[in-house]
Chain A
């Protein structure tokens, strides 16, 4: 965060008349991802494999809704932290920071259609992760 503010401050003379919040978040994102890359090089973290974690296909939507409403506090937040960064940022930018799809697209440099589908999948994944976590803790 500190790094991001410094970069923003240093780059301020280049900043021209667009959306300040989106502009700043673009820098934050850039700094975060370069830190992540650095860390990954050290840990040689395994890349997320879509094949190993196929999205859960069938849902009993009503039961799920009840479960979601009754999640222990902080659980959703912990589930969010388990998502791969590409999905986590969708939730953070749209749902936590309240950016519009177009702004998310401009911050992440992704096409609008990708933002729409990835955000939706990010919410799916977050739901699956939260429910899995919740069931595990209830068993323990």
Chain B
């Protein structure tokens, strides 16, 4: 990281403090901090600033009587027996029958002290692995740190991981089909370092995480989180998890392509 203008580094330091930098950007920053006392001092002052903001500014609370006023207005606008209310109740209850739809029900307790008991349910955490993968993907876009090794050649990308991981991921090239490989990156997922292969479709990046099925194995399933699609599956002792903001049809097209091509190529091997 360059150090010519310390003021310019503030966003990076902030993102690091907020835990929003990806693994390799964090490592690069830590390496730099180790040798740059000026940036260390700046980091410390960013930390003080951030902590001061969080500690000294109290969360907003809902004004007294808000709930009563709301209920009154709702009653005025819509008699309790109106069909609209039933529809809404149904919308609330239906996701409860489908366990995978749980994250739907947000608001409630979480919206910092806007206490309105009963109107909404509070949110449930969704699959932590998918959350993590989506966060990794988002982070890789955030600091323009998509790739540690930028290459469209699978024979460059695959050996790059040797020595960095205890397995060798299958790397297939799908450029001919319109999804060129653009590089690879080391990332953290499922409590271990994993290979992140980066593909592109026009300007959109696709992260394909590949790691051995030691503890987790994935059932082929399409998910959507924060506007990103995820699709994870397990094959030949490896987990594959694709994340992208591509449209659903193209995203599935990519997944299918990778599934076919990884079957054709020799199975990935664990290194001794």
Residue numbers of A with Cβ under 8 A of B are 1-2, 5-6, 8-9, 12-13, 15-25, 55, 57, 59, 61-62, 64-65, 68-69, 71, 73, 75-77, 80, 91, 94-98, 100-103, 106, 112-113, 116-117, 119-121, 123-124, 126-127
**Interface size in chain B (residues, C-beta < 8 A):** 63
Complex: A74 Cα to B29 Cα, angstroms:
34
| In the complex with contacts A9-B88, A13-B88, A117-B11, A64-B45 CB distance below 8 A | yes
Given contacts A1-B63, A13-B88, A21-B107, A6 and B73 within 8 Å (CB-CB): yes
- Tell me which residues across on chain B come within 8 A of A22, comparing CB atoms: 106, 226
B50 at the interface (CB under 8 A from A): yes
- Residue pair B20, A101 in contact (C-beta under 8 Å): yes
Interface residues as binary, B73-104 with A (CB distance below 8 Å gives 1, 0 otherwise): 11001000000000110011001000001011
Closest to A118 in B: B11
Give A61 Cβ to nearest chain B Cβ, in Å. Answer: 4
Chain A residue contacts of B60, Cβ below 8 A: 96
- Chain A interface: which of B108-116, B173-181, B193-201, B255-263? B108-116
Report if B32 contacts A (CB, 8 A): no
Check if B106 sits within 8 Å of A19, measured CB to CB: yes
Specify which chain A residues have a CB less than 8 angstroms from the CB of B215 in the assembled complex: none
Q: Which residues of A contact B45 (CB under 8 A)?
A: 59, 61-62, 64-65
1/0 per residue B139-152: CB within 8 Å of A? 00111100000000
Chain A residue with Cβ nearest B98? A17
Partner of A18, one of B103, B142, B143: B103
A-B contact pairs, 14 of them (CB 8 A): A1-B62, A23-B107, A24-B107, A57-B7, A62-B41, A62-B45, A76-B52, A80-B57, A95-B53, A96-B59, A97-B112, A119-B14, A124-B10, A126-B53
